Structure 1
Amino acid sequence: MLAAHPWAAVALLMLVTILNNMDRFLPSILAEPMKRELGLSDTFLGVLNGIGFLVIYAVAGIPIARFADRGRFGAVISASLAGWSLMTALGGLVTSGWQLAATRAGVALGEAGSTPAAHAYISRNFPPEQRPGALALLTLGAPLGMMASLVVGGVVGELLGWRRTFMVMGGLGLILAPIVLIALGRGQPLPSRAADPATADLRSILRKPSVLALCAASGFIALGGYASGAFSPAFLIRAHGMSVGTVGLQLGLLNGGLGVLAMLAMSWLGGRLARRDPRWPLALLTLLALVAIPFGVAGYLFAEGTGAVLCIAISNLVGGAYLALTVACLHSLAPVTVRARISAVLLFCTAMMGGLGPLFAGMISDVLTPTYGVEALGRALLIVPASLVLAAACFIAAAANFRRDMVEERVTD
């Protein structure tokens, strides 16, 4: 049991998050061989990696989070990990695009419960001043998982093929699931005030302007981020003639390395500045989004080869670095008894908006291909920097009402 060692528990949850993101983004690096073997279009791939996956993820997250808000963190996380890992492994056995879509739906259903429960676990076990650091360690799993997905998927995919790669990744999660249950236990008792209905009014929390603005900002980041994650590898392969392995290594290492550095820097600086003014993390998020915009434009239009990889990786920094500070801010706006559900609402918004990114990019690419050929996908991916403009505006709106919307933090029993 790791209840007495919360930082060790967060490290374990980070490992779960790594596997979460590896399984989620695995079809992106393997899109080209999957497309050839199963006869898929870019629009189908956009649905598969975007809205088809994320609608299920979004809808399932909130009801599953109810169990986590009752303190059943370990049971929810372990069951979620086992479920999505099994469906990932089954993805290696499919013979058609629709069978693959069904297994990805199962992955989405499994992954829906893990992140809100992990967020609630951290808010339950860490005081407010330590939460940005703990959430940063947890969310390091996102860039590390994306990096591992690209690197492992690219290298192992070339060596073993995409089918065996799916099976290997699913097997890793199935091994880890019982370990998570033993380490975290089934759950933790909640404070006695959890029975107070006034502390559990999720609807009143969702009416706060700053909560709505944070959810909208996260949704726009997800729209661009999922479009980039789904199609950037294919863009580099088509437009710049790179191999699957080369794209996996270069983009994966840059995404992961820069993402980790950005997340640590943002969380450290945001935590320090928030002691002076709780709105400072929102200002940092706004600045990061604005800085990333020109790199996104350059990566998809002007840069060549490795320069394009670097620009795309820099434009992806927002997607890796925003979540820890955003969740810390969001949990300052909600009482402890609804924090898993408020995280699930946040992920609902990112999933629904994020699902549109690959769909729009795939549809635009198919429409533009007769005119632009291999360059069509780059034009379509300009929705990535456009989404960052809208996200920056939403972070500014959230800061305007943040102080007024904060809840008083009370020590748990």
Structure 2
Amino acid sequence: MSLTKDRAKQFVSSRYAWAVLGLLTLIYISSFVDRQIIAVLAPSIQRELTLSNFQVGILYGTAFSFIYALCGIPMGRLADIYSRKLMIVAGLIVWSLMTVVSGFATSLSFLMVARFFVGISESALSPAVYSLLSDYFKPHQRATVFSVYAAGIFLGIGIAFLGGGSIARAYDWRTSLMAVGIPGLFIAGVAWFVIRELPRGITQSEDNQRYAVEADFIDVVKYILRKRTVRYHFLGFSFLAFTGYTILGFIGIVLTDIHDAASLVPQYGWFMLATGLSVMASGKAADWLARTYNDSYRFVMGMVAGLACLPLYYAGLFAESAMAALILIGLANVISSSYNGIAAAILQYMVRPNMRALAGGLYLFIISVVGFGIGPPLTGWLMDAVFTGPYGSARALMLVFACCGVLGSICFWKAMQSYEEDAERE
């Protein structure tokens, strides 16, 4: 049950609020470990279940991303109306159980059904968290707070590479799936007793707290999308997601096909852990820019993510040694993926309190479709049909990264021009 507003205000930006942020980040880490672990274990699963490369791709990507993207929007709307705490905890229980159950799979269809349920349950998490954190913290802290939460993406991926892979090598892929799924069930118990449901809009001024939650779904979507800043936001960060998903999907190809260094691929997990730190630093910088100049300057960190990485990507993709390629590409990814927290944070300033979760669901839907659904396949086609030779994959990737960085930065600049007109007054 929600607290009264007078009581809830005691929790805003308190030490308790930061503890809840830490717990929500831990839950996000769990979601990405369970999401990414299939890719880490793919070779072992493929051998035992006799799967083709296409089937592995469907299992890792389509079986998860399609249902995740599709369910994100209705889950966001539900989180704007019903208990965000309940959605977070229930989702955590379901995806953890499905990951454990996956360890008993005897066929591709078994694994795909489990992945569908992982996708559905994980789609409930971030929209609810975005809305909840906007009430737990004051508006000027959001880029920092959301970036701490978003760091869980890369901590989770790094743990999946390093921890899940190590368990699989010591035992087998089934044990690894069970080992990474079980902790989520214990975390869910802690979350149920620790997280409190705050009134929506508690950080708003008294004059701006009267927003009806009964608005029609279509009307709310139209309200969100009619803002130019939101449209440029979605488009710009989709370009950056395009880059992020693509390098994650093809780093193994670069190291294996160009340098014959498959043994180095798991070490990419260390750069994922480092990216978690860059995400937090980017959020802190974005809040500093907002205080020093104006709120629209948070978009500058999106430009940094899109452009500052390009020299490092170029040097890494065309490096002569495998170790140089790993280090330079890894450092480039630390920069190019640093936008994840500010992307979610900026969106919260564009919508009303009863629309925050749905806006988050729309954002996740768009970047999943563009980044995960279009990025790797299009880049793969460029590698197969357009660019050939020893460094063909490097040329294809560099073209994609350069276009996405430039086009994304143009979108952010355009978003800055309309920010004051579109931002909600707090």
TM-score (norm 2): 0.85
SS at match of 2:361: helix
SS at match of 1:84: helix
* Equivalent residue number for residue 132 of structure 1: 143
Report how far residue 392 of structure 1 moved: 2.2
8 A Cα contact 2:164 2:180, kept in partner: no
- Pairing partner for 1:222 from 223, 228, 241: 241
* Equivalent residue number for residue 222 of structure 2: 203
Q: 1:335 to 1:292 in 2, by over 3 A?
A: same
Q: 1:27 to 1:308 in 2, by over 3 A?
A: farther
Q: State how far apart, in whole Å, the 2-side matches of 1:197 and 1:236 are.
A: 52
- Pairing partner for 1:251 from 255, 261, 268: 268
8 A Cα contact 1:50 1:356, kept in partner: no
Q: 1:40 to 1:293 in 2, by over 3 A?
A: farther
- Pairing partner for 2:103 from 70, 88, 92: 92
- Pairing partner for 2:286 from 250, 267, 270: 270
Q: 1:57 to 1:309 in 2, by over 3 A?
A: same
The reply on whether 1:400 has 2:417 as its aligned counterpart is yes
8 A Cα contact 2:42 2:56, kept in partner: yes
8 A Cα contact 1:221 1:387, kept in partner: yes
Which is worse superposed, 54-63 or 394-403?
A: 394-403
8 A Cα contact 1:132 1:325, kept in partner: yes
Q: State how far apart, in whole Å, the 1-side matches of 2:298 and 2:198 are.
A: 30
For structure 2, which runs of at least 5 residues remain unmatched after alignment? 202-208
The reply on whether 1:150 has 2:161 as its aligned counterpart is yes
Q: Which amino acid aligns with 1:262?
A: S
For 1:126-147, what per-residue CA distance to the aligned partner results, in whole angstroms no more than 9, with x for missing partners?
Answer: 1111222221221121121121
For structure 1, which runs of at least 5 residues remain unmatched after alignment? none
Percent identical among aligned pairs is 30
The reply on whether 1:359 has 2:359 as its aligned counterpart is no
For 1:242-277, what per-residue CA distance to the aligned partner results, in whole angstroms no more than 9, with x for missing partners?
Answer: 455x432x21112212x1332232112211110221
* Equivalent residue number for residue 110 of structure 1: 121
Report how far residue 57 of structure 1 moved: 0.7
Report how far residue 20 of structure 1 moved: 1.2
Q: 1:50 to 1:105 in 2, by over 3 A?
A: same
Q: 1:106 to 1:291 in 2, by over 3 A?
A: same
The reply on whether 1:176 has 2:176 as its aligned counterpart is no
Q: Which amino acid aligns with 1:223?
A: F
Report how far residue 408 of structure 1 moved: 0.5
SS at match of 2:78: helix
- Count how many residue pairs are aligned between Structure 1 and Structure 2: 403
Q: State how far apart, in whole Å, the 2-side matches of 1:155 and 1:260 are.
A: 21
Report how far residue 346 of structure 1 moved: 0.5
* Equivalent residue number for residue 361 of structure 2: 344
The reply on whether 1:119 has 2:139 as its aligned counterpart is no
Q: 1:119 to 1:139 in 2, by over 3 A?
A: same
Report how far residue 183 of structure 1 moved: 1.6
Q: State how far apart, in whole Å, the 2-side matches of 1:54 and 1:262 are.
A: 25
* Equivalent residue number for residue 12 of structure 1: 23
8 A Cα contact 2:98 2:117, kept in partner: yes
* Equivalent residue number for residue 55 of structure 1: 66
* Equivalent residue number for residue 252 of structure 2: 233
The reply on whether 1:298 has 2:309 as its aligned counterpart is no
TM-score (norm 1): 0.87
8 A Cα contact 1:296 1:385, kept in partner: no
Q: Which amino acid aligns with 1:182?
A: F
* Equivalent residue number for residue 205 of structure 2: none
Q: 1:139 to 1:314 in 2, by over 3 A?
A: same
SS at match of 2:339: helix
